[in-house]
Amino acid sequence: MRNIGEDIWVHEDVMIMAGAPLRLRMTIVRLSDGRLWLHSPTALSPALKQEVEALGPVTFLVGASNGHNKWLLQWQEAFPEAGLYVSGGIPKKLNLGKYHLLDEAFDNIWREDLEREYMPGVSFFNESVFLHKKTRSLIVTDFIQNHSDETPPGLAGVLTKCIFRPLGFKGKCLAPPLKMGFTIKNKVDFAAFVTRVKNWEFERIVVTHGDIIETDAGQVFAGLCERFFK
Protein backbone atom coordinates (compact mmCIF):
# COMPACT_ATOMS: atom_id res chain seq x y z
CA MET A 1 0.00 0.00 0.00
CA ARG A 2 1.30 3.48 -0.79
CA ASN A 3 0.28 7.05 -0.15
CA ILE A 4 -0.36 9.18 -3.25
CA GLY A 5 -1.55 12.40 -1.57
CA GLU A 6 -3.14 13.84 1.53
CA ASP A 7 -5.56 11.24 2.95
CA ILE A 8 -5.49 8.98 -0.11
CA TRP A 9 -3.72 5.64 -0.56
CA VAL A 10 -3.70 2.84 -3.13
CA HIS A 11 -3.00 -0.87 -3.00
CA GLU A 12 -1.98 -2.65 -6.19
CA ASP A 13 -2.73 -6.28 -7.00
CA VAL A 14 -3.04 -8.60 -10.00
CA MET A 15 -5.64 -11.15 -11.04
CA ILE A 16 -5.68 -13.56 -13.97
CA MET A 17 -8.39 -12.87 -16.54
CA ALA A 18 -8.76 -15.35 -19.42
CA GLY A 19 -5.19 -16.50 -18.89
CA ALA A 20 -3.59 -13.04 -18.86
CA PRO A 21 -2.60 -10.85 -15.87
CA LEU A 22 -4.88 -7.90 -15.17
CA ARG A 23 -3.60 -5.21 -12.84
CA LEU A 24 -5.96 -4.02 -10.12
CA ARG A 25 -5.96 -1.10 -7.73
CA MET A 26 -7.89 -0.44 -4.54
CA THR A 27 -8.17 3.21 -3.49
CA ILE A 28 -8.48 4.18 0.16
CA VAL A 29 -9.66 7.64 1.20
CA ARG A 30 -9.64 8.92 4.76
CA LEU A 31 -12.64 11.19 5.06
CA SER A 32 -12.65 14.44 7.03
CA ASP A 33 -14.09 12.68 10.09
CA GLY A 34 -11.34 10.03 10.04
CA ARG A 35 -13.44 7.17 8.66
CA LEU A 36 -12.13 5.13 5.72
CA TRP A 37 -13.77 4.79 2.30
CA LEU A 38 -12.48 1.85 0.25
CA HIS A 39 -13.04 1.78 -3.51
CA SER A 40 -12.82 -1.48 -5.50
CA PRO A 41 -11.44 -3.74 -2.75
CA THR A 42 -8.79 -6.25 -3.85
CA ALA A 43 -7.96 -9.61 -2.26
CA LEU A 44 -7.65 -9.27 1.51
CA SER A 45 -4.63 -10.62 3.36
CA PRO A 46 -3.77 -10.34 7.08
CA ALA A 47 -0.95 -7.92 6.25
CA LEU A 48 -3.19 -5.69 4.12
CA LYS A 49 -5.91 -5.74 6.76
CA GLN A 50 -3.40 -4.57 9.36
CA GLU A 51 -2.12 -1.78 7.10
CA VAL A 52 -5.62 -0.52 6.36
CA GLU A 53 -6.75 -0.66 9.99
CA ALA A 54 -3.76 1.48 10.95
CA LEU A 55 -5.21 4.33 8.85
CA GLY A 56 -8.58 4.46 10.60
CA PRO A 57 -11.92 2.66 10.95
CA VAL A 58 -13.08 0.91 7.77
CA THR A 59 -16.58 2.32 7.32
CA PHE A 60 -17.50 2.24 3.62
CA LEU A 61 -16.84 -0.55 1.10
CA VAL A 62 -17.53 0.58 -2.46
CA GLY A 63 -18.03 -1.67 -5.49
CA ALA A 64 -18.75 1.00 -8.09
CA SER A 65 -18.89 -1.08 -11.29
CA ASN A 66 -20.64 -4.38 -11.98
CA GLY A 67 -17.52 -6.47 -12.59
CA HIS A 68 -15.84 -5.57 -9.31
CA ASN A 69 -17.45 -7.91 -6.82
CA LYS A 70 -14.90 -10.70 -6.39
CA TRP A 71 -13.62 -9.77 -2.92
CA LEU A 72 -16.49 -7.71 -1.50
CA LEU A 73 -17.82 -10.52 0.69
CA GLN A 74 -14.31 -11.14 2.03
CA TRP A 75 -14.06 -7.53 3.17
CA GLN A 76 -17.63 -7.49 4.45
CA GLU A 77 -16.86 -10.51 6.62
CA ALA A 78 -13.67 -8.90 7.94
CA PHE A 79 -15.41 -5.55 8.61
CA PRO A 80 -19.06 -6.39 9.41
CA GLU A 81 -19.78 -2.88 10.70
CA ALA A 82 -18.81 -1.30 7.38
CA GLY A 83 -21.55 -0.21 4.98
CA LEU A 84 -21.60 -1.79 1.53
CA TYR A 85 -22.26 0.48 -1.48
CA VAL A 86 -22.56 -1.27 -4.84
CA SER A 87 -23.51 -0.83 -8.49
CA GLY A 88 -26.76 -2.29 -9.77
CA GLY A 89 -25.39 -5.54 -11.19
CA ILE A 90 -23.54 -6.72 -8.09
CA PRO A 91 -26.55 -7.77 -5.95
CA LYS A 92 -27.59 -10.04 -8.83
CA LYS A 93 -24.32 -11.96 -8.42
CA LEU A 94 -23.81 -12.00 -4.66
CA ASN A 95 -25.91 -12.57 -1.57
CA LEU A 96 -24.89 -9.34 0.13
CA GLY A 97 -27.37 -9.03 2.95
CA LYS A 98 -27.73 -5.34 3.70
CA TYR A 99 -26.35 -2.96 1.07
CA HIS A 100 -26.86 0.47 -0.52
CA LEU A 101 -27.36 0.87 -4.26
CA LEU A 102 -25.19 3.33 -6.17
CA ASP A 103 -27.80 4.29 -8.74
CA GLU A 104 -29.03 7.60 -10.17
CA ALA A 105 -31.13 8.24 -7.06
CA PHE A 106 -28.28 7.73 -4.57
CA ASP A 107 -27.79 10.68 -2.23
CA ASN A 108 -24.05 11.34 -2.04
CA ILE A 109 -23.37 11.00 1.69
CA TRP A 110 -19.65 11.64 1.12
CA ARG A 111 -20.07 15.02 -0.58
CA GLU A 112 -17.86 16.85 1.93
CA ASP A 113 -14.86 14.90 0.60
CA LEU A 114 -15.98 13.28 -2.65
CA GLU A 115 -17.96 14.36 -5.67
CA ARG A 116 -19.88 11.55 -7.37
CA GLU A 117 -21.38 11.05 -10.82
CA TYR A 118 -23.36 8.09 -12.13
CA MET A 119 -22.72 6.79 -15.65
CA PRO A 120 -26.23 6.86 -17.19
CA GLY A 121 -27.71 4.28 -19.51
CA VAL A 122 -24.81 1.81 -19.40
CA SER A 123 -26.19 -1.26 -17.63
CA PHE A 124 -23.07 -3.20 -18.60
CA PHE A 125 -21.19 -1.22 -15.91
CA ASN A 126 -23.65 0.88 -13.84
CA GLU A 127 -20.47 2.69 -12.82
CA SER A 128 -20.14 5.60 -10.42
CA VAL A 129 -17.04 7.80 -10.63
CA PHE A 130 -15.68 10.00 -7.86
CA LEU A 131 -13.54 13.08 -7.31
CA HIS A 132 -11.42 13.27 -4.18
CA LYS A 133 -11.62 17.01 -3.64
CA LYS A 134 -8.55 17.40 -1.45
CA THR A 135 -6.16 15.96 -4.05
CA ARG A 136 -8.19 16.65 -7.23
CA SER A 137 -8.07 12.92 -8.01
CA LEU A 138 -10.64 11.37 -10.34
CA ILE A 139 -11.30 7.79 -9.15
CA VAL A 140 -12.67 5.37 -11.75
CA THR A 141 -13.22 1.63 -11.98
CA ASP A 142 -13.61 0.54 -15.61
CA PHE A 143 -14.43 3.80 -17.40
CA ILE A 144 -10.80 4.85 -18.06
CA GLN A 145 -7.88 2.39 -18.11
CA ASN A 146 -4.12 2.65 -18.64
CA HIS A 147 -2.48 -0.59 -19.72
CA SER A 148 1.25 -1.22 -19.95
CA ASP A 149 2.97 -1.52 -23.33
CA GLU A 150 5.01 -4.44 -21.98
CA THR A 151 4.02 -7.88 -23.25
CA PRO A 152 4.02 -10.64 -20.62
CA PRO A 153 5.85 -13.89 -21.42
CA GLY A 154 4.30 -17.14 -22.57
CA LEU A 155 0.63 -17.75 -23.26
CA ALA A 156 -0.33 -14.53 -21.46
CA GLY A 157 1.70 -12.58 -24.02
CA VAL A 158 0.04 -14.35 -26.93
CA LEU A 159 -3.40 -13.59 -25.48
CA THR A 160 -2.42 -9.97 -24.87
CA LYS A 161 -1.16 -9.43 -28.43
CA CYS A 162 -3.80 -11.45 -30.27
CA ILE A 163 -6.94 -10.81 -28.24
CA PHE A 164 -6.83 -8.08 -25.61
CA ARG A 165 -4.95 -5.37 -27.50
CA PRO A 166 -7.02 -5.80 -30.68
CA LEU A 167 -10.13 -5.46 -28.52
CA GLY A 168 -8.82 -2.11 -27.27
CA PHE A 169 -7.14 -2.95 -23.97
CA LYS A 170 -3.97 -0.98 -24.67
CA GLY A 171 -2.35 2.19 -23.34
CA LYS A 172 -4.60 4.95 -22.07
CA CYS A 173 -8.04 3.87 -23.19
CA LEU A 174 -11.74 3.85 -22.57
CA ALA A 175 -13.25 0.55 -21.49
CA PRO A 176 -13.61 -1.16 -24.90
CA PRO A 177 -17.41 -1.64 -24.59
CA LEU A 178 -17.72 2.15 -24.27
CA LYS A 179 -15.33 2.73 -27.16
CA MET A 180 -17.42 0.47 -29.38
CA GLY A 181 -20.53 2.32 -28.27
CA PHE A 182 -22.93 -0.61 -28.20
CA THR A 183 -23.40 -0.45 -24.42
CA ILE A 184 -24.48 3.21 -24.33
CA LYS A 185 -28.27 3.52 -24.35
CA ASN A 186 -28.53 7.31 -24.67
CA LYS A 187 -25.51 9.11 -26.13
CA VAL A 188 -26.85 12.58 -25.26
CA ASP A 189 -27.14 11.65 -21.59
CA PHE A 190 -23.72 10.03 -21.68
CA ALA A 191 -22.13 13.12 -23.22
CA ALA A 192 -23.69 15.23 -20.45
CA PHE A 193 -22.20 12.87 -17.85
CA VAL A 194 -18.77 13.19 -19.47
CA THR A 195 -19.06 16.99 -19.44
CA ARG A 196 -19.93 17.06 -15.73
CA VAL A 197 -16.94 14.88 -14.90
CA LYS A 198 -14.63 16.93 -17.12
CA ASN A 199 -15.74 20.10 -15.32
CA TRP A 200 -14.34 18.77 -12.05
CA GLU A 201 -10.92 19.89 -13.34
CA PHE A 202 -9.08 16.95 -11.77
CA GLU A 203 -5.29 16.70 -11.81
CA ARG A 204 -4.87 12.91 -11.87
CA ILE A 205 -6.91 9.85 -12.78
CA VAL A 206 -6.67 6.97 -10.33
CA VAL A 207 -7.60 4.03 -12.54
CA THR A 208 -8.40 0.57 -11.21
CA HIS A 209 -6.70 -1.08 -14.20
CA GLY A 210 -3.16 0.02 -15.07
CA ASP A 211 -0.95 2.97 -14.19
CA ILE A 212 -2.32 6.07 -12.48
CA ILE A 213 -2.49 8.95 -14.96
CA GLU A 214 -0.48 11.74 -13.32
CA THR A 215 0.35 13.97 -16.30
CA ASP A 216 -2.15 16.09 -18.27
CA ALA A 217 -5.03 14.09 -16.79
CA GLY A 218 -7.70 16.51 -17.97
CA GLN A 219 -6.35 16.53 -21.52
CA VAL A 220 -6.10 12.74 -21.57
CA PHE A 221 -9.71 12.46 -20.39
CA ALA A 222 -10.94 14.99 -22.94
CA GLY A 223 -9.09 13.24 -25.76
CA LEU A 224 -10.45 9.81 -24.88
CA CYS A 225 -14.00 11.12 -24.55
CA GLU A 226 -14.01 13.33 -27.65
CA ARG A 227 -15.89 10.63 -29.60
CA PHE A 228 -19.00 11.12 -27.45
CA PHE A 229 -19.51 14.64 -28.81
CA LYS A 230 -19.46 13.75 -32.52
- What is the tens place of the pLDDT at every residue in 85-110? 999 999 999 999 899 999 999 999 99
**199: domain range?**
2-229
Instruction: State residue 177's pLDDT score.
Output: 84
Query: In sequence order, which residues have a C-beta less than 8 Å from that of residue 161 and are 6 or more positions away?
Result: 151
**Whole-prediction pTM:** 0.90
- Residue 171 to residue 149: CA distance in whole angstroms: 6
Domain count, the chain: 1
Average pLDDT over residues 58-69: 96
Q: To which H or E segment does residue 178 belong?
A: helix 176-180
Cα 58 to Cα 81: distance, rounded to the nearest angstrom: 8
Q: 228: which residues sit within 8 A by CB, 6+ positions away?
A: 187, 190, 191, 194
Mean pLDDT (the chain, rounded): 89
Angle between helices 187-198 and 217-225 (to 10 degrees): 170
The CATH number for 46's domain is: 3.60.15.10
Give the Cα separation of 60 and 147 in Å (integer): 28
- CB contact burial 207-225 (16+ within 10 A = b; e otherwise): bbbbbbbeeebbebbeebb
pLDDT band of 19, cuts 50, 70, 90 = low
Whether the CB-CB separation of 225 and 178 falls below 8 Å is answered with no
Residue 158 pLDDT class (50, 70, 90 cuts): very low
